[in-house]
Amino acid sequence: MHAETVQYNQSLAPADAEICSLLAREIDAGLPEAENRIWHAHPVWFLDGNPVVGYSKLKGCVRLLFWSGQSFDETGLRKEGSFQAAEARYMAASEVNLEDLRRWLGKARDIQWDYKNIVRRKGRLERLK
């Protein structure tokens, strides 16, 4: 895990830090080949330069975001935004279903839309995998 991600997690209130630390450990374990860094002020994991999963502290919860999550066909993820992203929100670490999270991480590796080149394609997404 990147040092800045650890610092981000530690900067949060204890309950939020617990959620984020759990998510970070699981993401690192589930996507060991992914690059982790702070992107737009939040921890994000990238595969081949393409963002696949990250989380952020929102008012009242922690949001876990999968950039290609709408294509996962998972009832535990809700549509987010106008592209292919989907999210889950947590108010306590006990709400994180590890079985679901691990399955979603496998899908994040296998199902990707090309966010890395979205600007070059003028906002049009193409499926990679």
Residue 129 lies in a domain: no
Residue 122 lies in a domain: no
What rounded mean pLDDT belongs to the chain? 91
d(CA 43, CA 23): 10
Q: How confident is the model at residue 117 (pLDDT cuts 50, 70, 90)?
A: low
Average pLDDT over residues 44-65: 96
> 39 versus 112: which is more confidently predicted?
39
Residue 61's Cβ-side half-sphere holds a number of Cα atoms within 13 Å equal to 11
* Structure-token pair, residue 54: 């990250």
Residue 75 lies in a domain: yes
pLDDT, position 120: 66
Residue 119 lies in a domain: no
Residue 125 lies in a domain: no
> What is the count of structural domains for the chain?
1
Range of the domain at 51: 3-110
Q: What is the pTM assigned to this prediction?
A: 0.90
Residue 54 lies in a domain: yes
Domain containing residue 85: CATH number: 3.90.1150.200
pLDDT, position 1: 76
d(CA 122, CA 119): 5
Residues 63-102: tens digit of each pLDDT: 999 999 999 999 999 999 878 899 999 999 999 999 999 9
Residue 50 lies in a domain: yes
Residue 18 lies in a domain: yes
pLDDT > 90: what percent of the chain? 79
First to last CA, the chain: 25
